[in-house]
Amino acid sequence: MKISIPKGTKDILPGDIEKYKYVQTVFSNILENFGFQQIRFPVFEHTELFQRGVGDTTDIVQKEMYTFKDKAGRSITLRPEGTASVVRSYIENGMSSNPQPIKLYYDITAYRYENVQKGRYREFNQLGAEVLGSDSANADIEIMYMLNAFFGKLEIKGLQLNINSIGCKNCRIKYNEMLKNYFSDKLDGMCDDCKQRYLRNPMRLIDCKQEKCSVISKDAPMLLDNLCEECNKHFDNVVKGLSEMKIPFVINKRIVRGLDYYIRTVFEFIAEGIGAQDTVCAGGRYDGLVEQLGGTDTPGIGFALGLERLIGTMEKSGFKLPNEKKPIIFFAYIGDKAYKSARKMANELRLNGMYCEIDINERSLKAQLKYADKKNALYNVVLGDNEIDTNKALIKNMSTQETKEVSVDSITKRIIENKI
Q: Dihedral of CA 196/201/203/204: which sign?
A: negative
315 binds RNA (CB under 7 A): no
Residue among 410, 414, 375, 380 nearest 392 (CA): 410
- Distance, CA of 16 to CA of 247 (rounded, Å): 31
Q: Which of 37, 170, 386, 410 binds RNA (CB under 7 A)?
A: 386
Does 215 bind RNA (CB under 7 A)? Our answer is no
Task: Pick one of 264, 285, 387, 408: the residue that binds RNA (CB under 7 A).
Answer: 387
Question: Which residues are within 8 A (CB) of 400 and not within 5 positions of it... i.e. 6 or more apart?
Answer: none
Please report whether residue 309 would count as binding RNA according to CB under 7 A: yes
Contacts of RNA in 221-260 (CB under 7 A): 256-259
Do the bridges between strand 356-358 and strand 75-78 make them parallel or antiparallel, or are there none, so unpaired? unpaired
Number of helices followed by number of strands (H, E) in the chain: 15, 16
Q: How near is the Cβ of 357 to RNA at its closest, in Å?
A: 13
Residue 302 CA, distance from chain mean position? 13
Selected from 101, 302, 306, 327, the binder of RNA by CB under 7 A is: 306
Which run of H or of E encompasses 278?
Answer: none
Closest residue by Cα to residue 310 from 107, 61, 136: 107
**Separation of alpha carbons 150 and 137, rounded Å:** 20
CA distance 100 to 351: 43
Number of C-beta neighbours around residue 29 at 10 A: 11
Q: Closest CB to RNA among 232 and 403?
A: 403
Residue 15 in the binding site for RNA (CB under 7 A)? no
Shortest distance in whole angstroms from residue 157 CB to RNA: 18
Residue of 224, 304, 408, 415 interacting with RNA (CB under 7 A): 304
Is 58 a binder of RNA (CB under 7 A)?
Answer: yes
Q: Write out the binding residues for RNA, residues 114-173 only, by CB under 7 A.
A: 114-121, 124, 126
Return the number of the residue (317 or 353) whose C-beta is nearest RNA: 317
List the beta bridge partners of residue 105.
38, 129
- Nearer of residues 296 and 361 to RNA, judged by Cβ: 361
Residue 193 or 272: the one with the smaller Cβ distance to RNA is 193
* CA–CA gap between residue 83 and residue 40 (Å, rounded): 12
Peptide bond into 101 cis (omega under 30): yes
Q: For residue 45, which of 68, 19, 14 has the smallest C-alpha distance?
A: 68
Which of 107, 130, 140, 268 touches RNA by CB under 7 A?
Answer: 268
Would you count residue 282 as binding RNA (CB under 7 A)? yes
Q: How many residues bind RNA (CB under 7 A)?
A: 75
**Considering beta carbons, is residue 35 or 258 the nearer one to RNA?**
258
Give yes or no for a contact between 382 and 332, defined as CB atoms under 8 angstroms apart: yes
Could you tell me the smallest distance in angstroms from the CB atom of residue 233 to RNA? 26
Residue count (the chain): 420
Min separation Cβ 17 and RNA, Å: 17
- Beta carbon nearer to RNA, 232 or 249: 249
At position 95, the amino acid (one-letter code) is M
CB 99 → RNA: shortest distance, Å? Answer: 28
Region from 54-62, 131-139, 146-154, 245-253 binding RNA, contact rule CB under 7 A: 54-62
Nearer to RNA, 276 or 351 (CB): 276
CA dist., res. 44 & res. 8, Å (int)? 18
Interacting residues with RNA between 354 and 383 (CB under 7 A): 361, 363-367, 369-374, 380-383
Q: Is 210 in the site for RNA (CB under 7 A)?
A: yes
Considering the rule CB under 7 A, would residue 79 count as an interface residue with RNA?
A: no
**Window contacting RNA (CB under 7 A); options: 98-106, 137-145, 340-348, 398-406:** 398-406
Query: Cβ closer to RNA: 69 or 370?
Result: 370
Phi-psi domain of 294 (left: phi exceeds 0; alpha: psi -120 through 50; beta: other): left
